[in-house]
Amino acid sequence: MAGLIGVFGGTFDPPHLGHLVLADEACHALALDKVLWVVTGEPPHKPGVPITPIEHRLAMVRAAITGDDRFELSRADVDRPGPHYAEGTLRWLQEHLPGVPLAYLMGADSLHDLPDWHQPERFLARCERLGVMRRPGVEVDLQALEARLPGVAAKVRFFDAPLIGVSARGLRRRISLGLPHRYLLPSEVLNYIEAKGLYR
Ligand code: ATP
């Protein structure tokens, strides 16, 4: 059987050290061959929030993952019409990578909401594994979740990662206010942001 491939979706506006640490830990904990970074075109859960054009976000993710052969940029949520639900992302990937088992990566807070996602049963059926990063203060009742979405418990693999207290929103704010941020992002991403004058 082909090795497991991780699927890591996000807006990545911008990508930062928290994202890289999560992807790195997921590779280790779930023995992933690769992590596909799926840059969301139109995030369905962030309607009305202005986001940076997709070309810049793709370029920043490319810059962030350069040099790590395990990481790959995916256009799964760019080369198909939105809105971009995770079920559709996995369907697109399965059409383009037939027979490859996929591990969808998420935080424990998202796992809690999974039964309310778009077509959760189909989403779950397309996943070989759900790689779930534990978050402090977030308790997941797997039994209760299993009652709402049968089959979920058997697919979940929890993992821990060093906590990096950075968010894309916080970074956008810091950059716009001229607050320190250079050590919160890979230098390649910082260079891109500065060259293009983003988030000012
Ligand atoms: P925003 O602040 O704009 O909501 P974000 O930093 O949370 O963005 P996204 O691109 O929306 O970034 O997130 C992609 C994934 O990365 C999500 O599953 C999110 O839970 C996770 N993530 C974001 N920041 C961190 C962090 N510091 N540590 C671990 N995981 C993170």
Stretches where the chain sits below pLDDT 70 are: 1, 43-47
Q: Whole-model pTM?
A: 0.94
pLDDT of residue 114: 95
pLDDT of residue 198: 98
What token pair was written down for 97? 């990578």
pLDDT of residue 161: 93
The chain-wide mean pLDDT, for the chain, equals 94
Ramachandran sector of residue 126 (left: φ over 0; alpha: ψ -120 to 50; beta: rest):
alpha
Q: Tell me the domain boundaries of the chain.
A: 5-165
- Ligand 1 atom nearest the C-alpha of 167 is 6
Residue 89, CA distances (Å) to 104, 128, 141, 143 in order: 10, 14, 26, 27
pLDDT of residue 47: 65
d(CA 13, ligand 1 centre) in Å:
9
Our mutation pick for probing the ligand 1 site, out of 13, 19, 110, counting the most ligand atoms within 8 A of Cβ, is: 19
Helix 187-196 crosses helix 54-65 at what angle (to 10 degrees)?
150
| DSSP code string of 107-144 | EHHHHHHGGGSSSHHHHHHH-SEEEEE--TT----HHH
CATH 3.40.50.620 for domain 5-165, yes or no, is yes
Residue found by looking up tokens 């059987």 in the block: 1
pLDDT of residue 82: 85
Ligand 1 pocket (Cβ < 6 Å) reads 10-13, 18-19, 22, 106-107, 164, 166-169
Contacts of 147 (CB under 8 A, 6+ apart): none
pLDDT of residue 45: 67
**Which residue, 180, 89, 81, 77, is CA-closest to 126?**
89
The DSSP output letter for 190 is H
pLDDT of residue 69: 97
pLDDT of residue 135: 84
